[in-house]
Chains A and B, each alone.
Chain A
Amino acid sequence: MENKPKTEHLLALKVMRLTRPTLASPVIVTCDSSDLPGNTLNNELKNDCTALQGMETLAIGQMMLLPQSFGNTYLGEIFSCYLCVHNGSSQAVKDVVVKADLETPSQRIPLFCHNEENKELAPDSTIDKVLHHEVKELSAHILVCEVSYTPVNPTGSVQYFRKFFKFLVFKPLDVKTKFYNVESDEVYLEAQIQNLTAGPICLEKVALESSTLFTVTTLNTNEKGESVYGRVNLLDAECSRQYLYCLKPSPTLLKDPKMMHNATNIGKLDIVWRTNLGERGRLQTSQLQRLAPKCGDLRVTMKDIPGEVYLEKQVNFKCHIINTSERSMDIILGLESNDSIAWCGISETMIGSVKPGASIDVPLCLIPLVTGLIVSILYYQVLWSISSTIINHYGTPLNDNNSLADHFWREISGYVFETSLRLR
């Protein structure tokens, strides 16, 4: 990695990457006093500076060891290195200029510039600097270090050399997101985070920073507030973890279906991870965009459906119909009984006229005839007040408890709307 200067310079430049130190441990071999080595092995262990004093059999010492290799560099980490310019000669030099720039694939970032004109650097003196840089780009980076100086002697002319330190930046995490728009206008975000680094990592923070239009609930802890990922917060190399967030639209947004439809900016994921002795990295995703559900002209949801219903007992609920079109509409609702349910009420009734943006709640009643998950059908016709065209709608089965499946009104053709209930 290090290009040696071709001529012997009075100054030498060295660079060492400073990842976190590690904690050393000895080779732990013990025996009983009745064994041949007696207490010798155990005493040696007690005298070992890397052993854990007081519990020498345990390989969790307290002695820090300096990093012995350059290691991998990941996006989002702080790249730190020690830069040392040493005057190893026997003569003083002056006008020492030390510059360190980082060349990334897109730009050249100045990290350090030491310029002390007319000041001497005595023999065996050094210029020291610890450099830090937050890595924001992938692939090849080059740390370019330049040194110029003038020997303090009558014939001294300006000397110059530079060194290049090249390293690659890898992607530490893979983040995949999925959105689920549910009937109640809540949006669920599933974020799958995969550890692409070489070792286990601790995901210290995975937070969804949402736009002001939504309030976020994190669904990654149980009732006791404990993490659902287990007692030790650790994600092994190559492994993935799913985070789930529920976004509730703000009241203003809820009132306005159009605005709701246009609220596609969900927010950003902010991820902080740590590894050995707290080595830290942080990544933020770009603004996450959801695909807003297409409402079409009409939106139909079921309200107040009980979670559990009983066989041959009436089930009362409401059908909530919103006119999301620009025009006023008249709606006819039809009910179609089958083997599993029977509707109570009159089919093919005109339920009235609905203005653009307005909604109507239609009370309905059915009696389940078989147990299990059943599908019932209701269909409705919309009579546009202006054109009098009849447009029919249908949807896909609705699970109980407003689960995350896609729903309804994807198409403006067809004629049935289905719903289902869990029976007991």
Chain B
Amino acid sequence: MSQLVTSPEVDKDVAESVEEKSLDSGLGRYFSNATHTIFDEIVSPDINSDILNASVSAPTPHPVFTTMSVTTSNDFLNGSFSDTERVSDHVTASDSHRDAWIPSEHTRKILASLALTPGNNFPDRINLTMPGLMLQGDLPDITKETAIHFLGEEENIHRNVLTASDVTQDERGLRNLIHAGCYRAAVNLTGRLIAVYGQGYGKIDHPSKHTPHSLQLWFTRLALLAKLKQIDILENESRPFGNLDKPDMFFTFYPELYGTRPGSMASFAFRLLLAEIPSYCGKSKLAMDNLHKILATVRQIIRNLQMGLAEDGGRAKFSLAERDDSIRLWLGRKSRILISIVNCALGMKNYVLAVDVLENLCESLDWTPDQRQILISAIGRAYLFLGDVSAAEKKFAIGTDSRENPTTVREHMDNGLIAVAQNAFQEAYNSFKKASAIEPSNITVINNMAVCLLYTGQLKAAVHLLENAIARNPAKSLQEAVLLNICTLYELHTTHCKQPKLHLLRQLNRYKGDATSIQCLKLII
């Protein structure tokens, strides 16, 4: 089953995504790279360098997957489906490892029977993935609407954010919107693009054809809906995908397009997101089951590779070095799933499980000393969530010989949170202040100082601290958590809290995209 049409060289057409092409897309580069997953990418210590200069048009020299070819190019509009189809003819080796998946027995049988009699036996509807948009029309820009409602139409001239129509109607446009924090506009653009695939509004439960590109559009849309906490739409639109195990989610379902190319058409990130979605909808137990199911499959893939087989258990047709790279890739994915399990457990207040998995993760991987320290301190905070202050203190003390004389922001933060747990808010304030001296622009630290000021009876000072931080850097500081805190302070401070809130709204309107949940201002409409 695992015949693979691979060409060792990277197809330049495939890799021609605008964003990624600045890098050498040679396979060797990808595989020689030690970092191999998004998980590692996120924890890589040198992230700061590319946070700010990361813009969509100027690609970040990111170690992970950047050099891998993108299966679909951004020529969705100027090209046609044939472009997408052409992509399929040139499958790179890295694609096959990245897309590998083990279908369920049921799906495997259907795919096998299709391979024997190609063309004419179309499977039952029950074996098809039939998604469709549940949202008719566009998500409105709530920030803009609220600003107009409270501040008048004239305020709108200050609003200068992208909408779905302001960008190219393709994946580059999508990336531009996401980068600008215009998630709602991005969701709207995904809607337009998905409609082209015959999966628009009202098309749920209607058979349609999938491509890697259409599934990427869906992934992007659902990811953004999750970010926006549009729970109802998210739940309903994600439902038809199930756990991505229907036969039409695999390349072999379309032999005329992909030949015998193995693997899943949907990306791993999509699979993970779908598994997690129930936890955003208050169904954490279901999410936990889903995550464990994909964890089991990933473990099987790693076992297969370690036994010298291909990911799906077929005969391996790649070199040992390639195999080792694939094992690294899948071990990284395993860690990412475990982190998701921890997050899900925390959401369920199952701290026992969360701490257990974290402890194992901490022991089992080759972390850099800094990453390990971040992880250990995170376990300490998990103990603080559940109230075990002494266990948290022990964790914070591990590896830091300077517990009494902390030097890093993290150590000061840890000390500050321990002090909070001991109801010593003044001491906590002092710790956060020291952290702030090291990183003056760190809004999290300033926010924590403000919280301590409130608990020590200095409401006004707390308000000033946050207001100054926002004034210094509105674009960075106007985040939901900060807004929620400052509006809570305003409400406590005065019955006349509408004016300062409207000032925040004015700034949101000027500086931020459409992704901010406006409820955090607690304005009464």
Contacts and interface: CB of A to CB of B under 8 A. Distances in A.
Interface string B53-66: 01010011010111
B223 A200 contact: no
Contact of A14 (B267, B417, B444, B493): B493
B280 A27 contact: yes
A140 interface: no
Interface size class of A (residues with CB under 8 A): 35 or more
A313 interface: no
Contact of B175 (A37, A68, A230): A37
A95 interface: no
Interface in B29-63: 37-39, 41-43, 45, 47, 50-51, 54, 56, 59-60, 62
A33 B384 contact: no
B342 A232 contact: no
A275 B496 CA distance: 34
B349 interface: yes
B420 interface: yes
A45 B387 CA distance: 27
Nearest to B462: A66
Contacts of B459: 82, 84, 126, 128
Dominant secondary structure at the B interface: helix
Nearest to A16: B492
B299 to A, nearest CB: 19
A78 B422 CA distance: 13
A65 B385 CA distance: 13
A202 B65 contact: no
Contacts of A42: 38, 41-42
A128 B458 contact: yes
Interface in A1-47: 12, 14, 16, 18, 20-21, 23-25, 27-47
Contacts of B351: 200, 232, 234
Nearest to B39: A57
Contact of B481 (A40, A58, A65): A65
A362 interface: no
Contacts of A47: 51, 476
Interface string B396-431: 000000000000000001000100111100000000
A5 B407 CA distance: 51
B45 A40 contact: no
Interface of B: 19-20, 37-39, 41-43, 45, 47, 50-51, 54, 56, 59-60, 62, 64-66, 68-72, 98, 171, 174-175, 178-179, 181, 213, 216-217, 219-220, 223, 226-227, 229, 267-270, 273, 280, 336, 339-340, 342-343, 346-347, 349, 351-352, 355-356, 370-371, 374-375, 378, 381-391, 413, 417, 420-423, 443-444, 447-448, 451, 454-460, 476-477, 479, 481-482, 484-485, 488-489, 491-496
12 contacts: A18-B454, A30-B38, A34-B65, A38-B175, A43-B54, A52-B374, A54-B45, A64-B448, A65-B485, A126-B459, A231-B356, A232-B351
Closest 8 CB pairs of A and B: A278-B421, A274-B387, A31-B269, A202-B387, A36-B216, A33-B65, A40-B178, A59-B343
